Amino acid sequence: MSIFYFVAFLSIFFALMTIFAKNPVHSVLYLVITFFTFTVHYILLNAQFLAVVNFIVYMGAIMVLFLFVLMLLNLNKETEPLRSNLVKIMGAIAGMCLLATLLGAFRVIEVNNDYVTGNTDVGLVQNLGKVLFDEFLLPFELSSLLLLTAMIGAVLLAKKETKESNG
């Protein structure tokens, strides 16, 4: 349990650093470390596959793209858009809503659940695969359809408009 509290402290600490960092690139790097601590959490829960996938997808792919865009844009004080108070209030309300939802979800969780204590093998890749392709086949296929749609959309957006040919 002490490892959990230490890693949880690190997660929250780096998450806060992400918010408070002035430089956007530093902010993204702190976010990368935050995701890394999540990976450690997954390992503590004995969910090896999820840990590695979190590592590859979030740290290795998505955050690299974030970093990519930020480095190219080279944001600084002058280019920072002005945030009106309305946006801040809306952000605060949205955050509170999320907090309320999460609290509602956590209230019903039992602390001694096998998934919470990490005493289960369901996170190993064989078991996860069996569950995904058997019990949850339809949601799994639907989410893959969603990803495919997003991918085709991205390709269409990135594709140059071909001019009407002359003849």
Partner 1 sequence: MEGAFILEKLILVVIIFTISLVIAMYSTLAERKIAGFMQDRYGPDRAGLFGLLQPLCDGGKFFFKEEIIPAGAHKPLFIIGPTLAIITACISSAVIPWGQNLTIGDRVVSLQVADINVGVLYIFGVIALGVYGIMIGGWASNNKFSLMGAIRAASQSISYEIGMGLSLIALLMVTGSLSIGDIVSQQSGFVNWNIWVQPLGFLIFMTCAFAECNRVPFDLPECETELIGGYHTEYSSMKLGLYMFSEYINMFVSSALMAALYFGGYNFPFMYDLGLSENWITIIGVLVFFTKIFAFIFFFMWIRWTLPRFRYDQLMKLGWKMLIPLAIANIVLTGIITIVKDTYFN
Residues within the interface to partner 1 (CB under 8 A): 25, 29, 32, 48-49, 52-53, 55-56, 59-61, 64-65, 67-68, 71-72, 124-126
Residue 116 C-beta: closest distance to partner 1, Å = 22
CB of 33 to partner 1, least distance (A): 11
Closer to partner 1 by Cβ: residue 56 or 89: 56
11-16 contacts, C-beta under 8 A, 24 or more apart: 11/37, 11/38, 11/41
Nearer to partner 1, 60 or 106 (CB): 60
Shortest CB 67 distance to partner 1, Å: 6
Nearer to partner 1, 11 or 58 (CB): 58
- For residue 146, CA distances in Å to 58, 123, 143, 155 come to 18, 24, 5, 14
Q: Which residues contact 133 (CB under 8 A, 6 or more apart)?
A: 140
